[in-house]
């Protein structure tokens, strides 16, 4: 029983998940501070109101929803531009380009495929057998 649990815990995926959750929690604190302390006041200066939670038409807390949407968009943009985009660029650089001989062989193969007619079935003999 403990052996199976130990195998489950020591899996690479489980450790990656744990690291991701911890880093995500730390990143959330940074982005929340960026949103509340920097971007929201800038929006307040541009729009005249830094916090939208006071907007409550008919007693419905629409302002809190607006704050949550703005916070989500800022977090999503930060995640994309600071993590996803650089990671995609990094993985493209790591991808090995084909060697010259591989590229030439692929070109020769493609040229031959385009020049040769498609194989056809052998004509049937007098007894109808191919």
Q: Please report which confidence band the pLDDT of residue 121 belongs to, taking 50, 70 and 90 as the band edges.
A: low
Q: Is 127 within the bounds of a domain? A: no
pLDDT at 123 (0 to 100): 64
Return the closest-CA partner of residue 79 out of 31, 46, 122, 120: 31
Instruction: Give the Å distances, CA to CA, from 39 to 64, 69, 80, 116.
Output: 16, 13, 17, 63
| pTM, rounded to two decimals | 0.46
Backbone φ and ψ of 104, nearest 5°: -65, -40
Q: Is the pLDDT of residue 116 over 80?
A: no
Is residue 65 in a domain? yes
Pairwise CA distance, residues 27 & 31, whole Å: 6
Is 32 domain-assigned?
Answer: yes
Give the CATH number for residue 88.
Answer: 1.10.1200
**63 lies in some domain:** yes
Total domains in the chain come to 1
Give the structural domain span for 29: 2-115
pLDDT band at 128 (very low <50, low <70, confident <90, very high): low
Residue 123: burial class (beta carbons within 10 Å; 0-12, 13-18, 19+): exposed
């Amino acid at each position: 029983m403990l052996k199976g649990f130990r195998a489950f815990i020591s899996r690479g995926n489980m450790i990656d998940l744990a690291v991701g959750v911890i880093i995500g929690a730390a990143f959330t604190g940074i982005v929340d501070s960026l949103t509340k302390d920097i971007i929201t006041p800038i929006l307040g200066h541009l729009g005249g109101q830094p916090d939208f939670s006071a907007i409550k038409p008919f007693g419905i807390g629409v302002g809190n929803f607006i704050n949550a949407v703005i916070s989500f968009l800022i977090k999503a943009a930060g995640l994309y531009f600071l993590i996803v985009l650089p990671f995609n660029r990094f993985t493209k650089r790591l991808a090995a380009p084909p060697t010259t001989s591989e590229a030439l062989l692929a070109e020769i193969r493609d040229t031959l495929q385009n020049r040769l007619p498609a194989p056809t079935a052998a004509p049937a003999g007098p007894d109808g057998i191919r």
